[in-house]
């Protein structure tokens, strides 16, 4: 864990982990000498047959080179893959006839390196502890321009408190008028550096000329290329050589293809850390500053592997329109947002009319928290704090910063881990829920993630019983929207299905759809991801599986999308731990207790909550296995019972119960209003 790690999703959707940057640099995207020769030739991807030996591979490369092709092995993907460039085009069938070649895929688009044809899986761009393009939304916020230390610091503290993970602020401002505020230059960059040191927010700022490269290397985490410079090709080459992440804004009148070709310039210089930013285009409409092209989001998702964020501030130019378009951008599938925020917009030196007040930004973030799960993402208020606690531990610390879950990669439990902790945390899968609890209790893992209830089918009773049996605490929770698809092998048809595999709860959640197909044989499986994998391996068109079919399980066909009975299908997962804690406010507590067998005993305990104005969000009874017809009560409360001021409430509960267990206080996720 002491070596830096670089991760990239490969063609199966799983993460390929490289133990050091040098190993990663040997992959396709950093083969700069090869990539810069792409212009003027055709590009073909050759997927090699399974089991191709190194000797056969070298023989194939010799054949290709003898015909005048440039050849490069593409690293960081699941299959053995070669990329070739040639001057004289030949059909794919010719290359498929060569020994060891299973499939040849021509790259037909003018943009090669940014194309999904070359890189089918989405890229995740790392900026310090922040991952753009992953399972958590990334919100970049701050003023249009750096105006002074106090104002900039005040804004940074506000946006950090409300969930922003990167800070935007211009030190160099290209303006339409030569008389407008042009930025503070290096003095502004020094202020941004202080923002990073105090708040931990990475810095995003604009570079306007190649001569600023040294300053960018010294002060900045993400280099922004503004709309007016999207086709400044010398500038694009320069940021490609810098090697830092680049936020590339779409030009004022640029087509999507022109935008992607600008990204191609950056990648062709060896830098694949590009984030695209839709910021509105110029049209004849005058009621907004620009026209925000949200259709670009799904189009970009289809054409390129690069992540895309949206800038509703510059797109609309008007404060009251920023939040609606920000919400719409996330619903459209954007990986994040860049929002202008100012503590006193009326006095801002640039773009004050489109800057949100901090309280407006706070409300927007609460809205995004609600919207995100619908599109399979999370807005995490504790994003940066979690990253700190999950970093490599000092020698001698008993618990490694590892997270365990039940199931296989691609399962909903795996997705819950990614959405709560991010993809940079070491994740291990277990064969059962009980094994998760055992791993955490024995301190072989710092945290475990287990499901406890579903909005359609109720509680997962096994895990409630395990919470009683093991001496562990709940440290957090995350809620996933569960969307089920009927998955089959490629070219299969629903009419052919005879047998369906899935977890029993998935069958319950899709009951209405399954009742319309009474002839299907339903076979229970340990989790949905394993069921899909089983059908994939069988290659039988008569078999299907129910599950999400996420990227680690790619290669399957969706026979029917969204077959759950109710689209409001959510599963709540809790994070369990023995000794660890997760930073942030604690606004929820869970307890277990039993009461004596006498009239009013339960009522007396509930009266304690009523008397102290404590809201009960869950109350469920579970039988005590050793005592038939005697029950434990599981209670979730909107309060921090561990807080010193609430000690008297806990003491009163203990006094009125026969058995009492405190499961922990934690953050229910949504940021509390001050």
576-604 pLDDT, tens digit per residue, is 999 888 888 899 999 999 999 899 999 99
Is 96 found in the same domain as 135? no
Residue 42 among the catalytic residues: no
- Segment holding 104, helix H or strand E: strand 101-107
Q: What angle do CA 135, 2, 387 make, to 5 degrees?
A: 30
pTM of the predicted model as reported, rounded to 2 decimal places: 0.81
Q: What is the mean pLDDT of residues 120-124?
A: 88
For residue 105, what pLDDT is reported? 82
For residue 554, what pLDDT is reported? 59
Around Cβ 340, how many Cβ atoms within 10 Å? 29
Residue 283 among the catalytic residues: no
d(CA 100, CA 60): 7
Nearest partner of 315 among 252, 368, 358, 235, judged by Cα = 252
Is 161 found in the same domain as 235? yes
For residue 549, what pLDDT is reported? 66
Q: What angle do CA 560, 565, 570 make, to 5 degrees?
A: 105
Q: What is the mean pLDDT of residues 537-565?
A: 83
In a domain, 575, yes or no: no
**Count, residues in the chain:** 674
pLDDT at 626 over 90: no
Is 205 found in the same domain as 353? yes
The 10s digit of each residue's pLDDT in 395-419 is 555 455 799 999 888 889 999 999 9
pLDDT at 306 over 60: yes
pLDDT range class, residue 424, cuts 50, 70, 90:
confident
Is 335 found in the same domain as 200? yes
Helix (H, G, I), strand (E, B) or coil at 21: helix
Contact 207, 179 (CB under 8 A): no
- Segment holding 463, helix H or strand E: helix 461-469
In a domain, 163, yes or no: yes
Place of tokens 């996720």: 669
pLDDT at 37 over 50: no
In a domain, 470, yes or no: no
For residues 358 and 180, which has the higher predicted lDDT (pLDDT)? Answer: 358
d(CA 390, CA 405): 16
Catalytic residue among 18, 29, 573, 609: 573
d(CA 674, CA 672): 6
Classify residue 116 by its DSSP letter.
Answer: T
The 10s digit of each residue's pLDDT in 241-297 is 998 999 999 999 999 999 999 999 999 888 999 999 999 999 998 888 999 999 999
Nearest partner of 136 among 382, 427, 356, judged by Cα = 382
Is 95 found in the same domain as 130? no
Is 316 found in the same domain as 230? yes
Q: What is the mean pLDDT of residues 109-124?
A: 84
Is 177 found in the same domain as 245? yes
Helix (H, G, I), strand (E, B) or coil at 664: strand
Strands (E), 318-422: 336-340, 403-406
d(CA 42, CA 88): 8
Is 262 found in the same domain as 166? yes
Is 100 found in the same domain as 17? yes
d(CA 225, CA 487): 42
Catalytic residue among 205, 457, 571, 577: 571
* Sign of the C-alpha dihedral computed for residues 428, 430, 433 and 436 taken in this order: negative
Last residue of a domain, one of 336, 363, 383: 383
Provide the pairing of β-strand 485-488 with 557-560: antiparallel
The 10s digit of each residue's pLDDT in 211-230 is 999 999 999 999 999 999 99
In a domain, 309, yes or no: yes
pLDDT at 506 over 90: yes
Contact 631, 594 (CB under 8 A): yes
For residue 581, what pLDDT is reported? 85
Alpha helix positions (H), 374-460? 383-389, 412-421, 433-441
The 10s digit of each residue's pLDDT in 524-535 is 998 888 899 899
In a domain, 659, yes or no: yes
CATH of the domain at 523: 3.40.190.10
- Segment holding 132, helix H or strand E: strand 130-132
pLDDT range class, residue 181, cuts 50, 70, 90:
low
In a domain, 467, yes or no: no
Q: What angle do CA 589, 592, 596 make, to 5 degrees?
A: 135
In a domain, 555, yes or no: yes
d(CA 667, CA 362): 17
Q: What are phi and psi of 9, to 5 degrees?
A: -70, 130
d(CA 161, CA 338): 16
Contact 137, 79 (CB under 8 A): no
In a domain, 456, yes or no: no
Domain total in the chain: 4
Of 145-149, 179-183, 344-348, 369-373, the poorest mean pLDDT is in 179-183
pLDDT at 177 over 60: yes
Instruction: Kindly list the distances between the CA atom of residue 55 and the CA atoms of 58, 61, 532, 668, in Å, as whole numbers in the listed order.
Output: 5, 10, 35, 56
**Structural domain span for residue 664:** 584-674
């Amino acid at each position: 864990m002491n070596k830096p790690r670089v991760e990239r999703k490969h063609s199966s959707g799983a993460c390929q982990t490289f133990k050091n940057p040098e190993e990663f640099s040997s992959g396709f995207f950093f083969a700069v000498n090869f990539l810069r020769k792409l212009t003027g030739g055709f590009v073909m991807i050759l997927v090699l047959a399974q089991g191709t030996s190194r000797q056969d591979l070298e023989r194939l490369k010799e054949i290709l080179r003898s015909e005048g092709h440039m050849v490069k092995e593409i690293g960081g993907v699941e299959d053995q893959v070669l990329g070739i460039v040639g001057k004289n085009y030949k059909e794919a069938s010719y290359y498929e006839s060569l020994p060891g070649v299973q499939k040849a895929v021509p790259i037909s688009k003018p943009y090669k390196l940014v194309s999904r044809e070359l890189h089918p899986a989405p890229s995740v761009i790392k900026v310090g502890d922040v991952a753009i393009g992953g399972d958590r939304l990334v919100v970049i916020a701050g003023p249009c321009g750096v105006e002074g230390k106090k104002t900039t610091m005040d804004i940074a503290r506000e946006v950090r408190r409300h969930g922003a993970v990167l800070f935007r602020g211009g030190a160099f401002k290209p303006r339409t008028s030569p008389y407008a505020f042009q930025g503070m230059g290096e003095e502004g960059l020094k202020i941004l550096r202080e923002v990073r040191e105090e708040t931990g927010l990475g810095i995003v700022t604009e570079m306007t000329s190649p001569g600023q490269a040294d300053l960018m290397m010294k002060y900045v985490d993400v280099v922004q290329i503004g709309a007016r410079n999207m086709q400044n090709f010398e500038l694009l080459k320069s940021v490609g050589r810098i090697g830092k992440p680049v936020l590339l804004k779409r030009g004022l009148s640029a087509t999507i293809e022109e935008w992607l070709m600008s990204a191609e310039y950056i990648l062709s210089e060896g830098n694949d850390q590009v984030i695209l930013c839709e910021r509105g285009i110029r049209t004849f409409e005058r009621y907004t500053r620009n026209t925000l092209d949200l259709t670009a989001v799904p189009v970009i998702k289809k054409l390129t592997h690069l992540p895309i964020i949206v800038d509703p501030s510059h797109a609309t130019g008007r404060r009251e329109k920023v939040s609606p378009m920000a919400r719409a951008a996330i619903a459209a599938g954007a990986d994040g947002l860049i929002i202008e925020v100012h503590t006193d917009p009326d006095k801002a030196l640039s773009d004050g009319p489109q800057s949100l007040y901090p309280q407006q930004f706070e409300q927007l973030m609460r809205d995004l928290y609600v919207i995100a799960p619908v599109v399979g993402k999370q807005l995490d208020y504790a994003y940066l704090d979690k990253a700190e606690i999950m970093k490599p531990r000092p020698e001698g610390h008993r618990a490694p910063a590892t997270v365990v879950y039940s199931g296989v990669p691609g399962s909903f439990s795996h997705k819950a881990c990614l959405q709560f902790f991010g993809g940079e945390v070491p994740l291990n899968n277990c064969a059962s829920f009980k094994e998760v609890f055992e791993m955490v209790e024995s301190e072989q893992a710092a945290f475990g993630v287990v499901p406890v209830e579903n909005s359609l089918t109720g509680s997962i009773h096994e895990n409630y019983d395990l919470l009683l049996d093991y001496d562990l605490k709940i440290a957090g929770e995350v809620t996933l929207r569960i969307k089920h698809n009927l998955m089959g092998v490629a070219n299969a048809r629903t009419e052919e299905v005879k047998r369906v595999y899935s977890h029993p709860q998935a069958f319950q959640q899709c009951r209405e759809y399954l009742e319309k197909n009474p002839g299907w044989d339903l076979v229970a499986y340990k989790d949905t991801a394993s069921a899909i994998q089983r059908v994939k391996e069988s290659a039988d068109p008569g078999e299907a599986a129910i599950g999400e079919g996420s990227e680690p399980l790619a290669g399957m066909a969706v026979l029917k999308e969204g077959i759950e009975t109710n689209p409001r299908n959510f599963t709540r997962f809790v994070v369990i731990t023995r000794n660890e804690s997760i930073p942030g406010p604690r606004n929820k507590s869970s307890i277990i207790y039993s009461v004596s067998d006498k009239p009013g005993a339960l009522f007396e305990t509930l009266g304690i909550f009523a008397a102290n104005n404590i809201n009960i969000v869950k109350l469920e009874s579970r039988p005590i296995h050793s005592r038939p017809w005697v029950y434990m009560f599981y209670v979730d409360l909107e309060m921090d019972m561990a807080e010193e001021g609430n000690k008297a409430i806990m003491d009163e509960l203990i006094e009125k119960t026969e058995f009492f267990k405190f499961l922990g206080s934690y953050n229910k996720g949504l940021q509390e209003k001050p």
